[in-house]
Amino acid sequence: MTETTDSQRPNQQQVQDWNGALGERWTTNQDSLDALLQPYGDATLMAARLQPGERVIDIGCGCGATTLAAAATVGRGGAALGVDVSAIMLERARERAHNTANPARFAEADASIAMLEGGPFDAMISRFGVMFFEHPTAAFSNLIKMLRPGGRLAFVCWRAMAENIWMTLPLDAARPALPPVAPSIPDAPGPFAFARRERVANILADAGFSEIEITPQDVMMTLAAGASPAEAAALAVTRSVQMGPLAAALRDQPAEARTAALALVQAKLESVATPSGVVLPAATWIVTARKATP
Ligand SMILES: C[S@@+](CC[C@H](N)C(=O)[O-])C[C@H]1O[C@@H](n2cnc3c(N)ncnc32)[C@H](O)[C@@H]1O
């Protein structure tokens, strides 16, 4: 991996967050989050069309679910390398690979500036791991260098928060118990940075990608199932505070406000629960692109 000086290091806030409470929350709740996000990883892997023997990088791999799945597809004749800035999440990823004798490997690095060993790679994948770059065009200009000519990119990212009812419904229910929640800054690094299709297309084109396809994927997300609406809602509340804007809004709130907010969320989610559980619309883009052959 190439060395960088301090003045070249972007994304320091993200590095701090994902090595702090945010990364800890994702690691502690890894099983639950993986269950929730599995359909998105599956869709990404399908879009990447990985073949046995290929070499693949998983950008922002976190606790490694999609890297492990990619390694199982490319096999021991290929290579799957997960890259992430979060030491705690990578520790969990390595532990999982070790426990299952999975050949996936992991590197702690900022994907926007790292030049990872073992390339050129046939493909790059990411499940919700590419929306956090301070300088996205520079980041993808760096990433494309690690692909072979003809190499593929496939990732999933959230569309606008307003289209993701599984996130807005719990947040809106909690609002009366919380101080005003600051609206997110459009395009800022974070879960919704790639909400605008045109922006994603421009970033990838400016970085040198071709054959860019950005396809909406609308899924009814099962936030939680349960024996009764109350039980499903209780689990859905737990999940709502594991990731997403409600989790962020509750951070640093006093216990009293948290308790009041969670009671409102429980009531709301119970009111929308069906016999199948708490099932709400979720909206993503599935993005694919290619590095042109000369
Ligand atoms: C929303 S989580 C997704 C994690 C994982 N892909 C999953 O689906 O479970 C975003 C991940 O991106 C990682 N990340 C953020 N900025 C990064 C960067 N510049 N380079 C590498 N990883 C980054 C975070 O540490 C975090 O693990």
pLDDT in tens, 122-176: 999 999 999 999 999 999 999 999 999 999 999 999 999 999 999 999 999 999 9
Mean pLDDT of the residues in the chain = 95
Is residue 234, in this structure, part of any structural domain at all? yes
Query: End-to-end CA distance of the chain, in Å?
Result: 26
The stretch 8-17 carries a mean pLDDT of 92
Domain assignment of residue 3, yes or no = no
Q: Does residue 39 sit within a domain?
A: yes
The answer, yes or no, to whether residue 3 has pLDDT greater than 90, is: no
How far from chain centre, in Å, is Cα 252?
23
**Does residue 194 belong to any structural domain of this protein?**
yes
190 vs 18, 129, 193, 241, 271, CA distance in Å?
12, 10, 5, 17, 30
Nearest atom within ligand 1 for CA of residue 191:
1
Ligand 1 centroid vs 83 CA: distance in angstroms? Answer: 8
Ligand 1 center to 292 CA (angstroms):
26
What pLDDT does 184 receive?
84
Angle in degrees, CA 180, 183, 186, rounded to 5: 175
C-beta neighbour count of 236 within 10 angstroms: 29
pLDDT in tens, 65-90: 999 999 999 999 999 999 999 999 99
DSSP string of 179-212, one letter each residue:
SPPPPPPTT-SSTTTT--HHHHHHHHHHTTEEEE
| CATH code for the domain in which residue 273 is found | 3.40.50.150
Atom of ligand 1 nearest to the CA of 133: 19
Q: Using most ligand atoms within 8 A of CB, pick from 11, 13, 14, 92 the residue to mutate for ligand 1.
A: 14
Question: Does 2 fall in a domain?
Answer: no
- What is the distance in A from the centroid of ligand 1 to the CA of 254? 28
The count of domains in the chain is: 1
Q: Specify the residue with its C-alpha closest to ligand 1, atom 18.
A: 110
Of 212, 185, 182, the closest CA to residue 200 belongs to 212
HEC string of 68-117?
Answer: HHHHHHHCCCCEEEEEECCHHHHHHHHHHHHHCCCCCEEEECCCCCCCCC
What pLDDT is recorded for position 149?
Answer: 98
pLDDT at residue 2 above 50?
no
Q: What pLDDT sits at residue 294? A: 87
Q: Is 127 in the pocket of ligand 1 (CB under 6 A)?
A: yes
Q: What is the reported pTM?
A: 0.96
Residue 60 pLDDT more than 50? Answer: yes
In this model, does residue 7 exceed pLDDT 60? no
- What percent of the chain is predicted at pLDDT more than 90? 93
Average pLDDT over residues 262-279: 96
User: Whose CA is closest to 160, among 207, 199, 133?
Assistant: 199
Q: Considering the domain boundaries, does residue 24 fall inside one?
A: yes
Q: Is pLDDT of 47 > 50?
A: yes
Position 183 pLDDT exceeds 90 = no
Residue 259, domain member (yes or no): yes
Would you say residue 1 lies in a domain? no
What is the per-residue pLDDT across 92-117, written as a single tens digit (0 to 9) for each? Answer: 999 999 999 999 999 999 999 999 99
Enclosing domain of residue 112: 8-291
Please give the radius of gyration of the chain, using alpha carbons only, rounded to the nearest integer: 19
Q: What's the pLDDT at 273?
A: 95
Q: Does residue 255 register a pLDDT over 50?
A: yes
> Pick the residue with more confidence: 279 or 3?
279
Task: For residue 155, report the distance from its CA to the centre of ligand 1, in Å.
Answer: 12
Three-class DSSP category at 165: helix
Name the nearest CA neighbour of 136 among 203, 191, 84, 75.
203
Residue bearing the CA closest to ligand 1, atom 1: 128
